[in-house]
Amino acid sequence: MTLIRVPAGSGAPGDLRAIRLLIIPVFNMHDPSHQPRQLSIVMTFASPRLSRHDVLVTLPKMIGNVPSQQYGKDSLQAFDNMGMLELAVSDATNERVWFVKRATCGDVSLQFNALPRPVDADTPPGPRVDLREQFGGILGVGSSFLPLPPNRNSDAQYESTIEWDLGQSPYGTRTVCSFGEGTGPIRRKGSPSLLRDPVFGVGPLRRLVNNDKTPSGALFNVFCASEADPYRIFLRETPRGNGGTAFRRSFMFEYDKDILRLERFVFPVLAHEMVHNWPLLNKESDGSNDDLDTGDENWYSEDDAAARFGLRNKKYLLGELNSYLSGYYTNPVIKMTNEEATRRSWEEPNALRLRYSRGFTYLLKVGAQVWEKTAGRTSIDSIVYELLERKRRGKSHMLQDWLIIIERELGHTGVDEYHDMANGVLVVPPADFPPAKYKMKLVRQDQEVLEFVFSQDSINTRRIRGLKPGSRADQAGLKEGDKILESSFFIGKPATTLRR
């Protein structure tokens, strides 16, 4: 049996003080189009002082349904002041772990190559994290290709430096990451996980900067009054699927050829991903606060962006509210727990939709309860701003902190109702829920449960499987084994269309 040990203390290797990341794009210079082949990466850890069998770095094997870089035993080469540092590899449940076979001496340098992931029309949509080649460049997120020290939730602070070497790149090559543009050095302080979250891009990049003072600027100021860094939106085309994933001070928006036909869904996705950055609880390791996070983001992206700042009218807000509420109450897995919904999100689309709609409905309920209990002195805004200030000051902003505030405002009943929601108990907001300020009223309307009458995995396999006999689709002529020629959808929104 091999013993793998994480050094005591912060959970990160020893007294790690700094991480330097050097990225060298490698292009095919013999190809007239100069297509990028890979990213050659050198990562240096300042004097980690690891003992034999200590963990150096880890990398998730899958992020949702998206594979990360599948580095093998010999893919990573390590060196320190004594020369080559031999590494051993072990696979945990969803994590690949590299540990040192001897004590380290001085700085440790890790060298490896990251390759773009091939994708086609059969690649299912998922978290937008993988490295992809497009239009002569490469775009991806650190979590999919950067092995980093363990313990994502470590409170220890390190200085991370990002640099690019374009010495062998074609003329006109540009670089960018969520933290800044250019070859660097770009420096940030935080835990080692800081490098997991930014988007990295290199190639003939083009950008559009908008400095107009529009109503959306007021939306930004609500949540980021003290944050001066630019906010970056990265766009990339994908063979299938539309949607976004939020990262630090940025998000990735993916679109396919149906984007113009589905234009009405673009605004809520953009608003949702932007709001991800502010009213955000720190991630629990088991994903137990995911419903609350997504509900928070949905409420502020729909309420604030649509109504408070005049970006959309009341009719739009009404439609979005009904979309989320209908999506929640007609979901066939409405009784699924938060833990199960998080675990199954990328294998069961209904579970993913449930996380968005249930958290949204819960926030409507809490908002109404807090407003009534305090006679209008406290709103859901007050709670979110309190958590946001804790985040800005570097204090804990976890689910536990949310529950402490809820108990203060609503008593232990409020805490019990959160746990009921997390365990799949039906959530029903009172009639005077927050949108009542827009003269809207919550009324009951019975609807059919949304039922896919074929296996939802058919969307990924591109063949109809598990068709339910006697269903409307069966009666309409859909056949087992029919080939799906096209499909498009926004994750979290009921906008699926099929052509066969």
Could you list the residue range(s) of the whole structural domain that residue 172 is in?
A: 18-207+225-263
Could you tell me if residue 95 is inside a domain? yes
Could you tell me if residue 319 is inside a domain? yes
Contacts 24+ apart (CB under 8 A), 477-483: 478/454
Tell me the C-alpha to C-alpha distance, in Å, between residue 1 and each of 90, 97, 489.
11, 15, 47
Cα–Cα distance for residue pair 223/279, rounded to 1 Å: 7
Domain count, the chain: 3
191 shares a domain with 79 = yes
199 shares a domain with 63 = yes
Query: Taking a C-beta distance cutoff of 8 angstroms, is the pair 178, 250 a contact?
Result: yes
212 CB-contact burial (10 Å; exposed 0-12 / middle 13-18 / buried 19+)? exposed
Residue 467 has a CB neighbour count (10 Å cut-off) of 18
Give me the residues of the chain with pLDDT under 70, please. Answer: 1-16, 29, 32-34, 151-156, 210-229, 260-311, 394, 433-437, 460, 486-500
322 shares a domain with 238 = no
Cα–Cα distance for residue pair 167/93, rounded to 1 Å: 40
295 shares a domain with 230 = no
pLDDT of 78: 94
pLDDT of 287: 47
pLDDT of 189: 84
Query: Taking a C-beta distance cutoff of 8 angstroms, is the pair 427, 421 a contact?
Result: yes
298 shares a domain with 415 = yes
337 shares a domain with 471 = no
Cα–Cα distance for residue pair 194/234, rounded to 1 Å: 18
Query: Taking a C-beta distance cutoff of 8 angstroms, is the pair 338, 403 a contact?
Result: no
Cα–Cα distance for residue pair 471/461, rounded to 1 Å: 21
pLDDT of 306: 58
Give the three-class secondary structure for 78: strand
Q: What is the rounded radius of gyration, in angstroms, for the C-alpha atoms of the chain?
A: 24
Predicted TM-score (pTM) of this structure: 0.70
309 CB-contact burial (10 Å; exposed 0-12 / middle 13-18 / buried 19+)? middle
Cα–Cα distance for residue pair 277/369, rounded to 1 Å: 26
* 45, two tokens: 């850890």
pLDDT of 16: 46
Cα–Cα distance for residue pair 432/367, rounded to 1 Å: 10
242 shares a domain with 312 = no
Could you tell me if residue 153 is inside a domain? yes
**What phi and psi, each to the nearest 5 degrees, are found at residue 301?**
-70, -35
Could you tell me if residue 449 is inside a domain? no
Tell me the C-alpha to C-alpha distance, in Å, between residue 235 and each of 252, 278, 339.
6, 21, 31
Residue at 358: amino acid letter: R
Residue 175 has a CB neighbour count (10 Å cut-off) of 24
Could you tell me if residue 213 is inside a domain? no
CATH code at position 234: 2.60.40.3650
pLDDT of 279: 52
467 shares a domain with 349 = no
How long, in residues, is the chain? 500
Give the Cα-Cα-Cα angle 186, 191, 196 (nearest 5 degrees). 70
In sequence order, which residues have a C-beta less than 8 Å from that of residue 193 and are 6 or more positions away? 148, 152, 153, 154
Give the three-class secondary structure for 298: helix
Could you tell me if residue 79 is inside a domain? yes
- DSSP-derived letter for residue 377 is S
435 CB-contact burial (10 Å; exposed 0-12 / middle 13-18 / buried 19+)? buried
pLDDT of 372: 85
Residue 262 has a CB neighbour count (10 Å cut-off) of 18
Residue 304 has a CB neighbour count (10 Å cut-off) of 19
CATH code at position 415: 1.10.390
Parallel/antiparallel/unpaired status of strands 158-164 and 18-27: parallel
Could you tell me if residue 342 is inside a domain? yes
370 shares a domain with 339 = yes
Could you tell me if residue 214 is inside a domain? no
Query: Taking a C-beta distance cutoff of 8 angstroms, is the pair 241, 491 a contact?
Result: yes
459 CB-contact burial (10 Å; exposed 0-12 / middle 13-18 / buried 19+)? buried
pLDDT of 497: 44
464 shares a domain with 425 = no
Cα–Cα distance for residue pair 327/247, rounded to 1 Å: 26
236 shares a domain with 315 = no
134 shares a domain with 55 = yes
Instruction: Give the DSSP letter string of 246-295.
Output: EETTEEEEEE-TTTTTTGGGHHHHHHHHHHTTSS-PPPPTT-TTHHHHHH
